[in-house]
Amino acid sequence: MPERRRARALRLLPQSLLGRLASALVAAVLLSQLVGNAIWARQSRAESDRDSGAAALSVAHSAATTVRFFLSLPPNYHPIVIQQFREMGGTRFFATINRAPVLINAIGDPELAPRTAARVRAALTTTLPGVRRIDAAFAWPDQLHVNDQGVRMLDLPDNWVQHIVPSTSKPAPVLVIQVELRPDHWLYLATLMPNPYFLDSGRLLTSDRLLLQGVTLAFVLLVALLVVRWSTYPLAVLARAADAFGKGEPVPALPDSGSREFVKTARAFGAMQARIQGYIEDRERLFVAISHDLRTPIMRLKFRTELLDDDATRTEFHEDLDELDIMVKSALQNVQDSQIHENRTTVRLDPLLGRMARDAALARHQVTYVASGLRVQAKPLALKRAIGNLLDNGLYYGDRVDIRAYAAEGRVRIELRDHGPGVPAAALDILFDANVRLEHGRDRNSDGHGLGLGIARWLVRDMNGDLVIANHEDGGLCATITLPAGLATD
């Protein structure tokens, strides 16, 4: 199970180097921002907690002074004093007198608001020991009622609450203190903290910080994508060059610019390409020279064996020389047949396979093919040679060959089935090996070298295809070529 989860997680990751590096950079920036924000928020909360504690004591001291002032007045003077405060344009505390405490929709989140209110309440309780009931809480102005009749603070005249509601576009929390002066006589005080927006100082995610970090992340991502793409583009060019060289196609020139590591790699690749090409050319020249040079002494030795008087000895010499001749020819054929330099293109199967069937019929072989209207992406000459090797192999060992082509799973399959004896199941894995010929093959085709199947599979795989050979359920051998489908159908 852990291996499956790991494989599933790896499949979710970007497959390209550009995607992986960009993802890693973005993840690193996001992680650094999260860690930095967490550290900043922790320090900011601690600082805000200290500042709010000091501010709570200051507000509690002022509120205690106001409460003592109202306690010193007769109850019938309270409304008169409050009305005078309002006509003067308001004071730091907005005050009302109610028969019972007003229900306050207190702010419970973040934790700083209830903790600061508790400090104010504790300070007032200590400062006003003769007061029985004291309550303090923070509320938002749009949800705040100022008396027991349900009047909201925002419904009051602006000059009454100008010191309490600084801005309607960005409201600040209001501290409400309610003190029971005597039974059924509650003093309602509303005010702002010295720092009205003290709750924002410890908040981790604010609109301004989100905007700043979003812009930072966008710039980092843009620069990362440009830098990573600029750094990985030469690698893509090198990969295309290596793929083309491996397939025998023209290799695009590698740029002699970029990072120091890429320039070294490109130069090493160019040197390797030149050495490998030189090895291939030397090998071709070597085998051609060996074939040419060995034919003359082999023929001369054959002529000399005719002068031997002993028939048994002459026969043994002939057999050794024939075996040597076959080895030389097979090695040369293996080198020459595997070197087909041509580009892949769209090949129509009906003309190709139909002509091969007709040519076989002219040679008095039985070959059947039904038109399929399919096309494949292949090298024309290589495809013809591969199919020709399979067709010759089927005609040698079978009475006739049936050819058919059909589409399967987005690709095209070409089947060649002969009606011969087939091969043992244990021998299927070695049919493609060089110079391997089964017993019945040597009896029916004594001139072969055992290279046709191996060359055919090499040619098919060079065209991004595959060749599979198996015994047919109705008898005979069935060779199946699978190739990419062409661009269109007839």
Half-sphere exposure of 130 (CA within 13 A, CB side): 7
Per-residue pLDDT of the chain (490 residues; tens, 9 = 90+): 466 666 665 566 666 766 777 777 778 878 887 887 778 777 877 887 888 888 899 999 999 999 999 999 998 888 888 888 877 766 778 889 999 999 988 887 778 888 889 999 999 999 998 888 999 999 988 889 888 888 888 888 877 877 787 766 778 899 999 999 988 899 999 999 888 887 776 565 666 777 877 888 788 778 877 877 777 777 777 777 777 777 667 777 777 776 777 778 778 877 887 887 777 777 777 666 666 666 667 777 777 787 777 777 777 777 777 767 766 665 666 555 555 456 788 999 999 999 889 888 888 889 999 899 999 999 888 888 889 888 988 888 887 899 999 998 889 999 999 988 888 877 777 777 655 555 554 444 444 445 568 778 888 888 889 999 888 888 888 999 999 988 764 4
Same domain, 435 and 349: yes
Same domain, 70 and 118: yes
Q: Are the C-beta atoms of 90 and 163 separated by less than 8 Å?
A: yes
Element spanning 44, H or E: helix 17-72
CATH number at residue 333: 1.10.287
Please give the Cα distance from 379 to 484 (Å, whole number): 12
Helix, strand, coil: what percent of the chain each, to 5?
Answer: 55, 15, 30
CATH number, position 396:
3.30.565.10
Choose one of 202, 220, 247: the last residue of a domain. 202
Q: Are 146 and 64 in a shared domain? A: yes
Asked if the structure places residue 139 within a domain, the reply is yes
Q: Is 216 within a domain?
A: no
Whole-number Å distance between alpha carbons of 289 and 325 = 14
Tell whether 157 is covered by a domain: yes
Cβ neighbours around 444 below 10 Å, total: 12
Q: Using N-to-C axis directions, what is the helix angle for 260-305 and 207-246, rounded to 10°?
A: 20
With tokens 């795989």, the residue in question is 461
- How is residue 95 written in tokens? 């005050």
Choose the final residue of a domain: 300, 318, 337: 337
Measured distance CA(124)–CA(180) in Å, rounded: 12
Tell me phi and psi for residue 390, to 5 degrees. Answer: -70, -40
What would the two tokens of residue 324 be? Answer: 């040597």
Same domain, 407 and 390: yes
Instruction: Count the domains in the chain.
Output: 3
Tokens of 350: 């009906």
Residue 97 DSSP code: E
> Is the Cβ–Cβ distance between 429 and 400 less than 8 Å?
no
CB-based burial label for 294 (10 Å; 0-12, 13-18, 19+): middle
Task: Centre a 10 Å sphere on the Cβ of residue 242 and count the other Cβ atoms it contains.
Answer: 14
> Which of the listed residues 187, 202, 217 is the one where a domain comes to its end?
202
Query: Does 33 fall in a domain?
Result: yes
Does residue 209 fall inside a structural domain?
no
User: 134 and 31, same structural domain?
Assistant: yes
224 lies in some domain: no
User: Both 94 and 179 in a single domain?
Assistant: yes
Domain range spanning residue 353?
345-484
Same domain, 294 and 355: no
Q: How far is CA 110 from CA 126, 175, 195, 208, in A?
A: 26, 15, 16, 18
d(CA 458, CA 389) in angstroms, rounded, equals 12
- Is the same domain home to 102 and 190? yes
Angle between helices 311-337 and 452-462 (to 10 degrees): 10
Q: 479 and 463, same structural domain?
A: yes
Instruction: Decide if 279 is inside a domain.
Output: yes
What does the alpha-carbon distance between residue 484 and residue 374 come to, in Å, rounded to a whole number? 11
Q: Is the residue at 300 inside a domain?
A: yes
Same domain, 321 and 371: no
Are 159 and 290 part of one and the same domain?
no
Is residue 349 located within the same domain as residue 332? no
- Helices then strands, counting H and E runs in the chain, come out as 11, 11
Is 480 in contact with 413 (CB distance < 8 Å)? yes
